Each structure stands twice: as structure tokens, then as C-alpha cells.
Structure 1
Amino acid sequence: MSSTEPVALRLIDREFLIACAPEEREGLLEAAGYLDRKMRELRAHAKAPGFERLAVLAAISVAHEFIILRKQHEGQNQRLSDGLASLRDKLSAALEGDPAKS
């Protein structure tokens, strides 16, 4: 079982200490960097937004990106699964000696 260590994250001008396992540190820092960039993008286009509003808008933006990527991934998985099923049917037909199916 791994122990947790505090990691300092900066979002805009605020620092947060988050406990995480050492093996998760790099990913957490990368995620915080991504979120910080999103919040800064939103702040550049907004009229005097508060930190909390920026955090919510950034969370919605990141969640939207995630959903789009997940749908793309699911579509690719379905196409791969369909292709493998078709290949399996052709191989079965070839092994059974049915030239009409292969």
C-alpha cells in the first residue's frame, strides 16, 4: 500500500495542497496544468470572472471534451469489434470449406 504525499497545485493565482500517492503525482500535476490553462483561457475572454465561476466553466469545458473523446473511442471500439467479428466469420467459413462465406 502506498502512502500519500501532499502536492502543491497552482490554479490561476491560488495554491492547493492535494494528497496523492507518489505514482499519481505526475498525472495530477499534468491535470492541474491543463485545468489552469483552461481557466486562464476563459478568464481572458470573460469580464471580471470570479475564481469559482472560472473553475465551474473550466470543469464543464473539460467534461465536454471528455464526453466527445469517449464517444469517439466507443465508436472506434464498435468498428473494431464489427471488423473482428466479420474476420472471425470469414475464417470460420474458410476453415469449414464454405467458399460462399469466405
Structure 2
Amino acid sequence: MSEVIKQLDVSIMGREFRVACPENEEATLLQAVQLLDGRMNDIRNHGKVIGLEKIAIMAALNMTHEFLQTKVEGGIDIASFQRRIGNMNSTIDAVLNEQPELF
């Protein structure tokens, strides 16, 4: 069985991008877009870095550094757990929506 791939239009720092993602990962992708957009706007607003490309590189470098510290210090892959928890929540919601009133 193949995964359904969706095309999503997202906005990062006022620029529109079309990205593909598996249908079941749309929410996670939108969270990533929101996080990246916020980080890039923070860098731009502090006025130390000029130019979209440099801002993107600095945001990527900062986020990658945080990710590596989390993985090394915590010994677990938090992003993987967040995805798994999100998938479990979606499954639970789907099952509950199929049920008549439970209480």
C-alpha cells in the first residue's frame, strides 16, 4: 500500500512555497513551518543578519544545534516520540469519533 502524498502551500517569511508530504504528516509539517518561520523572523527582527538566505542558514544552524544537543544529552530522539504520540492521538481521535455517546 502506497502513502498518499499531498501538496501543501506554506508561507515562510512572507514567501510562498509548495511542499510535498505524506498525508498523515501534514500536521507535523505545518508545525515545522510555524517553528521555522518564527525562528527566521526572530533572527531578522534582531537585525544582526541580513538577507533571506543568510537568515535561513542561521535558523537551520541554530535548530540543528539544538536538535543535536537534545539527542546527545537526552539519549532519545524526541522528534520521533512526538511523531509517534501524534499518530497515536490521531488513531484515538478516529476511534472515538466512530463511537456513539460513551457517557
**Percent identity of the aligned residues?**
31
Q: Name the counterpart of 1:20.
A: 21
C-alpha separation in 1, matches of 2:61 and 2:18? 23
SS of corresponding position for 1:46: coil
Output one character per residue of 1:12-37: Cα deviation in whole Å (capped at 9) or x when no partner.
11011001111010000000100000
Q: Give the Cα separation in 2 of the matches to 1:47 and 1:71.
A: 29
What letter corresponds to residue 45 of structure 1 in structure 2?
A: H
Question: Which segments of 5 or more consecutive residues in structure 2 lack a partner in the other structure?
Answer: 77-103
Question: Rg: which structure is higher?
Answer: 1
Q: Which residue of 2 aligns with 1:43?
A: 44
TM-score, normalization: structure 2?
Answer: 0.67
Q: What is the CA–CA distance in structure 2 between the aligned matches of 1:35 and 1:48, rounded to whole Å?
A: 16
What TM-score, normalized to structure 1? 0.68
The separation in 1 between residues aligned to 2:42 and 2:6, in whole angstroms, is: 30
Q: Post-superposition, which runs of at least 4 consecutive aligned residues in structure 1 deviate over 6 A?
A: none
Match of residue 61 from structure 2:
60
Cα shift at 1:49: 1.2
Deviations 1:36-83 (A, max 9, x none): 0000000011257111111100000100110110112128xxxxxxxx
Q: CA RMSD in A?
A: 1.6
User: 1:93 — aligned with what?
Assistant: none
